[in-house]
Structure 1
Amino acid sequence: MSRPSSPEGLATSSCPAADQVSAGNTMWADIRALLPNTKEDLKLDFSEKVEESVISLLQQARDLLYGAGSLCSGSTRETCLQKIRNDHTTVPSIKSEEVIPRLHCPSLEHFRDNYMIPQKPVILEGIVDHWPCMKKWSLDYLRQIAGCRTVPVEVGSRYTDEEWSQTLMIVNDFIDQYIVNKNSIGYLAQHQLFDQIPELKQDICIPDYCSLGEGEEDNITINAWFGPEGTISPLHQDPQQNFLVQVIGRKYIRLYSPQESENLYPHETQILHNTSQVDVEDPDLVKFPKFERAAFQACILTPGQVLFIPVKYWHYVRSLDVSFSVSFWWL
């Protein structure tokens, strides 16, 4: 098929491609007119008869429609999807059978009986919307309250890389070098950050669901994870339950059951025995052939969502944007 010889050829009504674009614009405008202005106004409240996997797919479609909070206006469907691809060219697709179910504010009993006791991952929605951090936290806010604080920074895209290292720097320098200027990949992963900066701790709360555990509240470990797009936590497992709260940006996450451990090729060294040797999104199937048969669940975690990662569940995390997450480790 030959291409039009001039730009004007694309604008004439006799061009089938132009007609299709025009029709697409009209159709998309009609769809936008039927939708609420914000994602929050597009309610997806269904009865318990509707399967959670169906609800999860609808929620993902809603997230794509509204993007980072506003609907793609004046665009065809193709243009909207192209914008997503241009902004984040490696955002993976998630098949229906891989989707992690989502629940809106389940009762403690429902969460305990259906997810905590059977050790099944789930995304909880609506439980952190009231946290001050969801509205307050930004780069400017972090500079304001913590800009001159010295913190440990992990340098490198993942801790299994040979060039990975750790260093100390003030928060302002970290933001300038790794977030704003994107000179390289660096990650602020801090277990004591909220003790060092009480203003941040005042903006979060320990989820009520942690009370279902056997440990005391004082034994809950709160972690901060702050870094640029492209930062990766290799596939690994932890010895505690985990609530991962997404505050800023999005993360692509894969979860593998502990039953899949044999297919995940953990490192043989003691220091990395809880970490897989496999590059999850670019696996060497000649070297690690059993990895292909390992079943997993996946999600793109967005601000306001809380992912329950059961104890010993293998998880792989890649930041799709500048990201700030808070995790709660509990037993």
Structure 2
Amino acid sequence: MSSLWAEAIAVLPPKLEDIHLEFNKIVNESLVFLLKQTAALLYEGQDIAKCLQLSQTIIDFSWERLNIGTWRDVDKEWRRVFSYGCLFKAVCLCKKESAVREAIKTCDKGLLMGMAILDNILIRLVKVLQNHNNPKKRALEDVGFHQNSSQKRLQVAVPCIKEIQAGMEVPRIHCPSLEHFRAQYLIPHKPVILQGIVDHWPAVRDSKWSVEYIHEIAGCRTVPVELGSRYTDDEWSQTLMTVGEFIDKYILHQEEGNPIGYLAQHQLFEQVVGQKYIRLYSPEQSPKLYPHPTKLLHNTSQVDVDQPDLVNFPEFESAEFQECILSPGDVLFIPVSYWHYVRSLDVSFSVSFWWS
């Protein structure tokens, strides 16, 4: 018995009876029977090929249900079914060490599209799988990636850093107390750059984050990706791909600026790697930013900041704003309903937190 198979089986509940495959009436009885049959085959550990086939059938059937209509209307029971299908398939794949990456991708799809089952068993299983992710093969792939990325990086056109206009800078403060931040910025809704508050983060302190580092530690993990320079463009879309695929295809290309938009929440925007230019408009400037008239895009401006159409949007030219350039370790507080425009000045990584 391979060590991977033994560790994967150990993640499962001790007994078949501990997997409670009970669903409401929206999931038909024939599918529930199929789920139970697949689980039984898995615990017997004999006909894994048949178990794998049934698991894929469960995944395919529930995937169709997940993609009918809008996401908010998808019944949670179908997400549970999808997670169980992904769990059964991922464990079956553990019979062959060569299928580790496919098993990881299967777990990630269950985590992204399904629901938490059996005390977050998919998270525990994927940790086991990552430990078996063929270090020797990965090392060879990483060598090739480093060479390719170095060549690609020479082709990346880094835009000139914008000069911040006098009197328009977002103010900066170093390690304020919570009371001071709350009284001077949070309550009055005033943007500010907080410095020194994330210096203890390993990502900032050790300066380890890079394209190569992210590719090495998470290249095999599947994530949701938004494709397109602006989400108002016709070609904008969303898809699932591995971090490695995203880096290879997109991250080393020059990023364009996003459209101006706002959120109905406060935001802390932490810059970890590289630099970003950010422009902020207060809610009072909203009429001059020409929000889309539709309810879906009411929080998005119709104006292209880089090439504004002043014939159709003449008031935009007089809209007042604040601006800044964020460097690693800078944390920008963006108050609720503040319009913001973001442009990467080089290959960069940021982390955001939102709250109401």
Q: TM-score, normalised by structure 1?
A: 0.58
Q: Distance in 2 between the 1:88 and 1:300 partners?
A: 15
Q: Which has the higher strand share?
A: 1
Partner of residue 158 from structure 1, selected from 223, 230, 245: 230
Give the match for residue 140 of structure 1: 212
Partner of 2:176: 106
Confirm or deny that 1:259 pairs with 2:291: no
SS of alignment partner, residue 325 of structure 1: strand
| Distance in 2 separating the partners of 1:254 and 1:245 | 15
SS of the equivalent of 1:244 reads: strand
CA distance in 2, matches of 1:273, 1:169: 30
Amino acid aligned to 2:223? V
TM-superposed CA distance for 1:100, in Å, is 0.4
Deviation of 1:230 after TM superposition, in Å, equals 2.0
2:310 to 281, 285, 302: 285
- Preserved contact between residue 275 and residue 345 of structure 2 (Cα < 8 Å): yes
- The 1:87–1:170 alpha-carbon spacing in structure 2 relative to 1, beyond 3 Å, is closer
Q: 2:276, 2:299 → 1: CA distance?
A: 21
- Residues 267-306 of structure 1 show CA distances to partners (whole Å, capped at 9, x for unaligned) of 0111111000001122111110111111000011111100
Alpha carbon RMSD of aligned pairs, Å? 1.5
Match in the other structure for 1:30: none
Cα deviations by residue, 1:296-324 (Å, 9 ceiling, x for unpaired): 00011111100000000000001111111
Tell me whether 1:95 sits opposite 2:165 in the alignment: yes
The 3-state SS of whatever aligns with 2:162 is coil
Q: Structure 2: which 5+ residue stretches go unaligned?
A: 1-155
1:133-154 Cα shifts (integer Å, max 9, x gaps): 1123222221222111111211
How many Å separate the matches in 2 of 1:293 and 1:280? 13
Helix, strand or coil at the partner of 2:296: helix
Give the structure 1 partner of residue 240 of structure 2: 168
1:124 is matched with 194
Distance in structure 2 (CA, Å) of the matches to 1:258 and 1:165: 28
Q: Is the 8 A contact 2:277 2:344 kept in 1?
A: yes
Report the secondary structure of 2:167's partner residue.
helix
The Cα of 1:155 is off from its aligned counterpart by: 1.4
Does the aligned pair in 1 maintain the 2:159–2:345 contact within 8 Å?
Answer: no
Q: Within 5 Å, give how 1:39-78 maps onto structure 2.
A: none
1:122-271 aligned within 5 A: 122-134=192-204, 135=206, 136-180=208-252, 182=253, 229-271=254-296
Distance 1:103 1:311 in 2: 20
1:89-134 alpha-carbon deviations (Å, 9 max, x no partner): 4432211111000001011111111111111000000000110111
Aligned to 1:232, what secondary structure does the other structure show? coil
How far apart are the structure 2 equivalents of 1:232 and 1:154? 14
Q: 1:304 — aligned with what?
A: 329
Q: Secondary structure at the match of 2:258?
A: strand
Number of matched residues?
199
Counterpart of 1:137, as a letter, is W
C-alpha distance after superposition, 1:63-85 (max 9, x if no partner): xxxxxxxxxxxxxxxxxxxxxxx
Cα-to-partner distance string for 1:246-276 (whole Å, 9 max, x where unaligned): 0011111000000010110000111111000
Instruction: In structure 1, give the amino acid aligned to 2:176.
Output: P
Distance 1:314 1:239 in 2: 10
* Counterpart code for 2:235: E
Q: What's the secondary structure of 1:317's corresponding residue? A: strand
Provide the C-alpha distance between the structure 1 equivalents of 2:159 and 2:285, rounded to a whole number of angstroms: 29
SS in 2 for 1:272: coil
Q: Which structure 1 residue ranges, 5 or more long, are not aligned?
A: 1-85, 183-228
> What is aligned with 1:7?
none
Shift of 1:87: 6.2
Query: 1:175, 1:278 → 2: CA distance?
Result: 29
Change (3 A) 1:305 1:320: same
- Higher helix proportion, which one? 2
Q: Report the AA paired with residue 165 of structure 1.
A: S
Q: Which runs of 4+ in 1 moved over 3 A?
A: 86-90
Percent identity for Structure 1 against Structure 2: 64
Q: What amino acid does structure 2 have at the position aligned with 1:290?
A: E
In 2, Cα distance between equivalents of 1:88 and 1:95? 21
Distance 2:226 2:317 in 1: 30
Return the letter of the residue paired with 1:259: E
1:319 matched residue in structure 2: 344
CA distance in 2, matches of 1:87, 1:231: 12
1:313 maps to a residue whose letter is Y
Counterpart code for 2:337: K
